[in-house]
Structure 1
Amino acid sequence: MKRPGNGNAWWTSPQPLWLIAAIFAWLLVTAWVRPLMAPDEGRYAGVALSMLHSGDWLVPRLDGLPFFHKPPLFYWIGAAAMSVTGPVEWAARLPSILGAGAAASALFLFLRRWSTVRQALLSTMVLVTTPFFFLGAQFANLDMLVAGCISATVLLAAAAALARERAEPWRALLAGAYLFAAAGLLAKGLIGVVLPVGVLLIWCVVTRRAAVLRLSVWLPGWAILLAVAGPWFVAMQMKYPEFFDYFVITQHFRRFASSGFNNEHGIWFYLPVLAAFTLPWFAWFAWALVPRRKDEDARPRLSDVDWLMWIWLAVIVVFFSLPRSKLVGYVLPALPPLAYLIAKHVLAGRSMEALWPKARAMTLAAATLCVACVAAIAIYAVPHGTRLRLPEGQAVAAGDQVLMLDNYFYEVPFYWNLHQTVLISDDWKAAVTDTRDNWRKEVVDAARFEPERAARTLVDRTQLAATLCVPRTTWLVGPSNAQIAHPWLARAQLVSAHQSVAAWRFAGSATSDAHCLDVAAASTPAPSSSSSAPLPANGTATNGDD
């Protein structure tokens, strides 16, 4: 690669295919190094793996029950990847990597045509080495996938509008925008369409492109959107009459307007998030905004692309700041325009010879920070359940059952590569009336769509004996101190433990003795190997998986 000072070859002769390939390679580079994080990564990877194992590619299922918090695109991509690779982390994260790659590629191609080559390259470089973007690309949840769809929709539609004004080919660009809008709808619901439409409508009004508004009712585009996204929603409504009320009314409107959900924050929340998680680039951006001369009051007039990026950034931040419940990943669609604005202010008034050494050093520092963040998460922030493994030589046999005690450990089905539904023991009568936003609510909500299947999956605590006292092996997963609430675990063999999570093997009862869990019987543990000793109160075990 030549330096810009020697002919400016890198900046004036871009190779888009090579650059796009490099983007995806960079985003994949550390996607395999850390276990899945619970609950989010374990949940979404588990639903995708369940789709693969069940062969039902239509209905997303959480522990065998319909899971309609979000549409199926993430699960389709993840299941397809794992059908080739098996349950490995990078395949579970592939939907997010594809979303990030789509956002970065669309930003580069759009700016390469409608701005300058160096603006396109620097903006893309800023974006893919921003720690927030890099980590979002390697986190297995729906936020980055929909962010990529939103970004591609906005940029393709804006490119179509600009091309139409200049009498250039625009229909293929607009068809692509509608296609990505359909993908956004299938990725995370209505925001995949509502947010791009909001950005583009405001942009058209501000830049006085009233005629371009007609592109929003382009009939071939709507045909594409309905043909791609419509069938799944129609199929779910026909199969489950309560689908529309739950998916659209509850998960979109009630969730947006109501309190009582997790992660409530003030309206200011995303401002420090964006400033902190986009370092070191944001620091350079802030420094570039400081006037260098007292007479530097006049600022250049905003171009059409500048207006698009400012409006895009503002719409995303304002929209997600309004509801009380806020998650960091919601604001990921704001990163492409922010990357453009950072690069724009960094480039302002600077020659390439002066800029290149600083840009190279900043890119190296940002990339190093990205990798360091992944390493820190892998070492310090990985939940205990993801480290829970069965000892070598032990596996869940086809006829065995798996039961989770008083919790649902999302990541266990993924790491144990379970093909069957897991039983979950809890006080389900109380769980039905629990309005807190937690794993119980997710399971109870899913159970309402198929109550008969739920009756076979959700085991009330009072029915444990009927489930376990059978001539069948049961693998139990629960808190490491579960023996306090379940003294009968003294009869089970501890097979694995990692800090707060443990797994046991329970042989059942060859005679179907209904009293096999009685405390009196449990006080005399059945003979077994040394690994069957009950877990101490402090939650440690000499044979645990560390």
Structure 2
Amino acid sequence: MPMTPPSDPHKAVRDTAASPPPAQQHLTRWMAGAFALGWLVLWFFGLDMRALTEPDEARYAEVAREMFVSGNWLTPKLDGFNFFDKPALQYWATSIFYNLFGVHAWTARLWVALTAMTTIAVTGWAGKRLFGVATGWMAAIVLGSTLLFFAGGHINSMDMSVAAFMSIAICMFLVANFDPQAVSRRVWLNLAGWASLALAVLSKGLIGLVFPALTLMAFMLWERDWSSLRHMTMGWGLALLVVIAAPWFIAISLRHTEFFNYFFIKQEFTRFLVNKYDRYQPWWFFLAITLAGLFPWVAFLPFSRAGWRELGSRKAAERFLLCWVAVILVFFSVSHSKLPLYILPIFPALALLIAHRISALSSGTLARRLLWISALALAAMLAALTVRPSTRHLSQHTHLHPALLWLATGLGLLAVVAALCALMLKRRWPPVAAISLLGACTLVVWQMLFAGNAPLAKNLSAEPVAELMRPHLRKDTEVFTVRAYQRGLSFYLQRLITVVDEQPDDIRPGISSRPNGVITDLHTFENRWRMTRSAMAVIDPHLLPELESAQLPMIIVGRAPSGLVIMRPPLPARPSP
């Protein structure tokens, strides 16, 4: 079946006769607007409540800070070392936010929060155009309140931005090719999709182009029809993609000849093929992450093969979404590099499928699924309360206690609200109202979880070390990390760090760009420390006896979760002539 809209209106994707009544029949415009405004406020609330955790959040925040300070928008740097792991789009955006609002944890996270919120809006728009107003509204609610998508939109990583731009592109292509009313604007929608793919490539590399291409190929094989390629505005689209994405890659490859091999070969292919980066997980890892990350909406997935077969037998747009989910899930499941947020790109597609499925359920069936959610939330609450006492005697888990308590409280609230939503349906309230209430409550629960997680996040960040150092720093103070490297220390101290006796994976390839920023052994460090008039360091606590036996002049400033902070005693004042 080609991607052109079917001529028979009964086969059209937007079959309004089969759709539920529009959301406007149940929610007035001002109520919908007030709900959306409240959602926006709640979504961006708390971006500054947590410290930037190691290593990813702190790393990307610091690379953007150095770009902002130096004005070098071509070469990303981490602690002064060339850092070629990822393209520059997120660094550019975050640098602009630093310039507008200052260097803070919340401005470091603002780009991922914005791209996630944009994806929620575009997913809702696509759902409205493809399946009707109510389905579009519910798709946005479902996506914005799933656990993993919320987490991805509030953790500073590259995974959300590439997922966002790929998903936006897919939504544009879906509407352009499956919405009968979009035929006259197909070219412009396709070009918007190609531009979004270019931004995906600038976010994380070729993966932003590979997934959509594999999905399109899988869909055409399923449909046994290759004519879909004629409706993608392929020529102009590829030209637009090259114009947007290629200049930075060309410029940095000309400036740094080692970039091409490191980025395209080692980062793009080796990570997928080789278990070299301590990211190996079993094949079912992403299946488990997807099911857990969809909470609470996982209850609306089909629970049988027949249910999934029914999804694939209805409409071409749904089959395309299923291909999108399957391609990414299989790709990452066979990969040797697995981290939870990698799977984010499938969540907008799953949200559309779930919302369309909800709109087709009877009120009785929908109420039963909501009661299942209530039961799941209660079970999770009991698990959180059970884990909390079992960890109270383990000092390393001390800061888990408030997070688990907040989580248990939130899950209890969610269980009550899900049961209330089921009762609303029994009282003939519209499904859109029940889903909206449950989605808003779920968003509150995830914010409660992240707020309760603030003490743990601080323990996993460089902020405590920076707080100990800051009162003693002078402009000429040299700061060292001795087997205790933290990417966020440069961010919080607003200065570069000298790394001692270790070469972490993310700075090792760029050491030649700042050779004086690394000291390879303790003996050299001790000599440099003695010669420096003002110095501070965070050290691995296990090194303290060795440094004391070497009679290193030092004062212990304090202990932080990530290391011991020491400073060089002031040198005696020079006698006056």
Asked if TM exceeds 0.5, the reply is yes
CA gap of 1:316–1:393, structure 2 versus 1, over 3 A, is closer
Could you report, residue by residue, the CA deviation over 1:395-417 in whole angstroms, capped at 9, with x for unpaired residues? 53322211111131111111222
2:511 to 423, 430, 447: 447
Paired with 1:178 and 1:5, the residues of 2 have a C-alpha distance of: 33
CA contact (8 A) 1:480 1:501 kept: yes
Note if 1:265 corresponds to 2:281.
Answer: yes
- 2:525 is matched with 464
TM-score where L is the length of structure 1: 0.81
CA contact (8 A) 1:483 1:489 kept: no
- 1:422 is matched with 497
- 1:475 is matched with 536
Could you report, residue by residue, the CA deviation over 1:120-175 in whole angstroms, capped at 9, with x for unpaired residues? 00111011011111111000010111110110111112222336896421122111
Paired with 2:448 and 2:361, the residues of 1 have a C-alpha distance of: 33
Say which SS state the counterpart of residue 331 (structure 2) adopts.
helix
CA contact (8 A) 2:201 2:209 kept: yes
Counterparts in 2 of 1:34-73, with a 5 A limit?
A: 34-73=50-89
Say which SS state the counterpart of residue 486 (structure 1) adopts.
helix
Paired with 2:221 and 2:273, the residues of 1 have a C-alpha distance of: 27
- 2:400 is matched with none
Paired with 2:433 and 2:305, the residues of 1 have a C-alpha distance of: 21
Counterparts in 2 of 1:222-371, with a 5 A limit?
A: 222-285=238-301, 301-350=313-362, 353=429, 355-356=431-432, 358-371=434-447
Counterparts in 2 of 1:478-517, with a 5 A limit?
A: 478-487=539-548, 491-507=553-569
Counterparts in 2 of 1:88-237, with a 5 A limit?
A: 88-162=104-178, 167-207=183-223, 210-216=226-232, 218-237=234-253
CA contact (8 A) 1:143 1:330 kept: yes
Paired with 2:30 and 2:360, the residues of 1 have a C-alpha distance of: 21
CA gap of 1:197–1:6, structure 2 versus 1, over 3 A, is closer
2:488 to 408, 411, 414: 411
Which residue type is aligned with residue 399 of structure 1?
Answer: D
Say which SS state the counterpart of residue 276 (structure 2) adopts.
coil
- 2:386 is matched with none
- 1:378 is matched with 454
CA contact (8 A) 1:87 1:417 kept: no
Paired with 1:339 and 1:6, the residues of 2 have a C-alpha distance of: 18
CA contact (8 A) 1:477 1:501 kept: yes
Could you report, residue by residue, the CA deviation over 1:432-471 in whole angstroms, capped at 9, with x for unpaired residues? xxxxxxxx222211225x2xx2245445323114422335
Which residue type is aligned with residue 460 of structure 1?
Answer: D
CA gap of 1:387–1:213, structure 2 versus 1, over 3 A, is same
Say which SS state the counterpart of residue 37 (structure 1) adopts.
coil
CA contact (8 A) 1:480 1:499 kept: no
Query: Which range moves more in the overlay, 320-329 or 380-389?
Result: 380-389
- Cα deviation for residue 59 of structure 1 reads 0.6
Say which SS state the counterpart of residue 453 (structure 2) adopts.
helix
Say which SS state the counterpart of residue 94 (structure 1) adopts.
helix
Q: Among all aligned residue pairs of Structure 1 and Structure 2, give the percentage whose two residues are the same amino acid.
A: 25
CA contact (8 A) 2:177 2:183 kept: no
TM-score where L is the length of structure 2: 0.77
- Structure 1 unaligned residues grouped into runs of 5+: 432-439, 513-546
Paired with 1:66 and 1:498, the residues of 2 have a C-alpha distance of: 29
Paired with 1:298 and 1:185, the residues of 2 have a C-alpha distance of: 34
Say which SS state the counterpart of residue 502 (structure 1) adopts.
strand
- Cα deviation for residue 22 of structure 1 reads 5.6
Which residue type is aligned with residue 504 of structure 1?
Answer: I
- Cα deviation for residue 19 of structure 1 reads 7.6
Which residue type is aligned with residue 544 of structure 2?
Answer: Q
- Cα deviation for residue 67 of structure 1 reads 0.5
Which residue type is aligned with residue 443 of structure 2?
Answer: A
Query: Which range moves more in the overlay, 176-185 or 22-31?
Result: 22-31
Paired with 1:79 and 1:303, the residues of 2 have a C-alpha distance of: 43
Query: Which range moves more in the overlay, 268-277 or 494-503?
Result: 494-503
- 2:43 is matched with 27
Which residue type is aligned with residue 485 of structure 2?
Answer: Y
CA gap of 1:18–1:252, structure 2 versus 1, over 3 A, is farther
CA gap of 1:290–1:212, structure 2 versus 1, over 3 A, is closer
Which residue type is aligned with residue 480 of structure 2?
Answer: L
Paired with 1:348 and 1:213, the residues of 2 have a C-alpha distance of: 31
Paired with 1:87 and 1:7, the residues of 2 have a C-alpha distance of: 41
CA gap of 1:354–1:250, structure 2 versus 1, over 3 A, is same
CA contact (8 A) 2:485 2:499 kept: yes
CA contact (8 A) 1:52 1:83 kept: yes
Which residue type is aligned with residue 499 of structure 2?
Answer: I
- Cα deviation for residue 105 of structure 1 reads 1.6
- Structure 2 unaligned residues grouped into runs of 5+: 1-19, 364-427
Which residue type is aligned with residue 464 of structure 2?
Answer: R
CA gap of 1:165–1:195, structure 2 versus 1, over 3 A, is farther
Paired with 2:161 and 2:311, the residues of 1 have a C-alpha distance of: 36
CA gap of 1:58–1:12, structure 2 versus 1, over 3 A, is same
RMSD value, Cα: 3.2
Could you report, residue by residue, the CA deviation over 1:167-195 in whole angstroms, capped at 9, with x for unpaired residues? 42112211111111111111000111111
CA contact (8 A) 1:23 1:104 kept: no
Paired with 1:163 and 1:301, the residues of 2 have a C-alpha distance of: 18
Paired with 2:219 and 2:34, the residues of 1 have a C-alpha distance of: 32
Higher share of residues assigned helix: 2
Query: Which range moves more in the overlay, 349-358 or 72-81?
Result: 349-358
Which residue type is aligned with residue 211 of structure 1?
Answer: S
Say which SS state the counterpart of residue 140 (structure 2) adopts.
helix
Say which SS state the counterpart of residue 215 (structure 2) adopts.
helix
CA contact (8 A) 2:553 2:568 kept: yes
CA gap of 1:60–1:14, structure 2 versus 1, over 3 A, is farther
CA gap of 1:7–1:225, structure 2 versus 1, over 3 A, is closer
